[in-house]
Structure 1
């Protein structure tokens, strides 16, 4: 279970605090178990500073606390604060990265269920799709739906999300897919051959919807499986 520790302190020496955090990162490189750290300053009180540190688990957090470097940094942190900092320990019981949910829904509805029209509700106004396998590298939603419908009907693919990473308004997706060539695709009549492959996609989200996407799929591998291109 993900574990989060919130360090609440009062200090007028924010620059020195930031330098201290930099030295902690350098000193614990290869040893620390923390995976994410955020330092925030209260807009209504510039001396009120919070650090939020994320760990894979409580046990990993305790391993981090037992590092000699952590003890030294803590003593220096206390010296920078106007009063003793307080600590809040949290077991994360709900963690929703909403942009990842939007991308997962797109994969399930549009690809796995073959409902291309579901993109209308999942994509923001002005959506653009970039994919070298389409007729143009930059197409709008209507054109993307038209061309992707051909793909869905030709292969009836199912996609598996292998990994997904989100940062800010961007989500990166690594996936694999399987299908069967049951319909015409780019002038190639159905071969009834099973196909499989891998791909990557990057999405930019806006307002909880997909605003832009970039796709890279192993099209050469697909053509080889259809017998159109011979393997070297």
Structure 2
């Protein structure tokens, strides 16, 4: 079960997030999925997840989401990830900068019957905003 759940999370990352097949989100995520740490403005459930993925893909059309490491136990999968992309569209009110970014994070997914039931994403948002120039970088 743990290897199967890990594979499901990897497929979701590749097929939905990286490839942008957002209409396939329902194959991987329950309608009433709970995002434990929602992003600003994120709505509830499946539609909220789809909206956030679309926002990322609009801001970073060349986004690549890579799962670097996973630990799975029972119905939970912890994934250490990194995503890269070029800021080519508006992203949470930030106009396109043309800057390339590399962002790390960790996501904890709980699966039921081969679909994500709840999720917690911890991402280096401060690093992302610094790379976009929204937050000034610290002088060395």
State if a TM-score over 0.5 links the two structures: yes
Deviation, structure 1 residue 226:
0.8
- Aligned match of 2:76: 170
- Aligned match of 2:119: 213
Please tell me the root mean square deviation across aligned C-alpha atoms, in Å: 1.8
Query: Which whole-Å CA distance do the structure 1 matches of 2:17 and 2:53 have between them?
Result: 9
Describe the superposition over 1:57-90 as per-residue Cα deviations: whole angstroms up to 9, x where unpaired. xxxxxxxxxxxxxxxxxxxxxxxxxxxxxxxxxx
Between the two structures, name the one with larger relative contact order (CA 8 Å, sep ≥ 6).
2
Deviation, structure 1 residue 124:
2.2
Query: Which whole-Å CA distance do the structure 1 matches of 2:77 and 2:53 have between them?
Result: 20
Describe the superposition over 1:134-162 as per-residue Cα deviations: whole angstroms up to 9, x where unpaired. 325x8311122112211112113102211
Structure 1: 4+ residue segments shifted above 6 A? none
Q: Which among 96, 115, 123 is matched to residue 29 of structure 2?
A: 123
- Aligned match of 2:20: 114
Q: How many pairs does the alignment contain?
A: 137
Q: Which moved more, 1:166-175 or 1:147-156?
A: 147-156
- Counterpart contact for 2:87–2:99, Cα < 8 Å: yes
In our comparison, the structure showing a higher alpha carbon Rg is: 1
Instruction: Give the unaligned 5+ runs of structure 1.
Output: 1-94
Deviation, structure 1 residue 163:
0.4
- Aligned match of 2:60: 155
Query: Which whole-Å CA distance do the structure 1 matches of 2:12 and 2:107 have between them?
Result: 12
Query: Which whole-Å CA distance do the structure 1 matches of 2:109 and 2:57 have between them?
Result: 20
- Aligned match of 1:143: 48
Deviation, structure 1 residue 200:
0.3
1:196–1:211 Cα change, 3 Å? same
- Counterpart contact for 1:130–1:139, Cα < 8 Å: no
